[in-house]
Amino acid sequence: MGLDVDWLKAHVRDIPDFPAPGVTFRDITPLLADPKAFAATVDRIAEPFDGRHIDKVLGIEARGFVLAAPVAYRFNAGFVPVRKAGKLPWEIEREEYALEYGTDLLEIHRDAVHPGERVLIVDDVLATGGTAAAAIRLTERLGGELVGLAFLIELEALGGRAKLDGHEAHALVAYA
């Protein structure tokens, strides 16, 4: 298990000073591009929820789609995109979340989750938790039952886990 995680972590590329000076960006594209690492990542993200019924997997635009969609496929669940403002063409619910300066919006189609459906949220990175918390509120707004959240990476110093309202949450790879 420990070795596996180190092996996955070795496929994450550190990009200094991106997108801003002093920030180290964790670039997951080498991990996605490696067939074995990509398959292992999808399987390991799904693993804590194996054997539990999942109706819908929510993915957050855009990198979140890359992991949430295969997890949905693996669970024989539906896939639901949570998108930035103005991208979804039908009736929506929206939630605000905080950026470093100001706020932004996440949107979901009103018929994307039906009351009582069991929902798993999957995203690439748990950072400040702002987008994940907005996705939780969107799920609850539609009457979905949140089974949990799964991330590839957790940036622990940013304290996002505290924003997840006590919901079950797993991350494969953690950075202090």
Q: Collapsing DSSP states into helix, strand and coil, what is residue 158?
A: helix
Q: Which is nearer to a copy of itself, 39 or 174 (CB)?
A: 39
Instruction: Name 31's Cβ contacts closer than 8 Å, sequence gap at least 6.
Output: 8, 11, 12, 37, 38, 41, 152
Among 10, 33, 85, 162, binds a copy of itself (CB under 8 A): 33
Q: φ and ψ at 169, to 5 degrees?
A: -145, 135
Q: Which is nearer to a copy of itself, 16 or 102 (CB)?
A: 16
Residue 137 in the binding site for a copy of itself (CB under 8 A):
no
Residue 32 in the binding site for a copy of itself (CB under 8 A):
yes
Alpha-helix residue ranges (DSSP H) falling in 47-169: 63-74, 130-141
> Could you give the CA distance from residue 144 to residue 161 in angstroms, rounded to a whole number?
20
Q: What minimum distance in Å lies between the beta carbon of 111 and a copy of itself?
A: 7
Quick one: CA dihedral 139, 77, 26, 10, positive or negative? positive
**Bridge partners for 174 per DSSP:** 154
Please indicate whether residue 94 is annotated as part of the active site: no
- The answer to whether 67 and 59 have CB atoms below 8 angstroms apart is yes
Question: Mask 68-87, x = binds a copy of itself (CB under 8 A)?
Answer: -xx-xxx-xxxxxx-x---x
Question: Mask 45-64, x = binds a copy of itself (CB under 8 A)?
Answer: ----------xx--x-xxx-
Size of the site for a copy of itself (CB under 8 A): 43
- The answer to whether 136 and 167 have CB atoms below 8 angstroms apart is yes
Quick one: CA dihedral 161, 164, 170, 171, positive or negative? negative
Q: Which is nearer to a copy of itself, 123 or 163 (CB)?
A: 123
Among 5, 7, 10, 39, binds a copy of itself (CB under 8 A): 39
Please indicate whether residue 140 is annotated as part of the active site: no
The contact set with a copy of itself (CB under 8 A) reads 13, 15, 18-19, 25, 27, 29-30, 32-35, 38-39, 42, 55-56, 59, 61-63, 65-67, 69-70, 72-74, 76-81, 83, 87-90, 109, 111-112
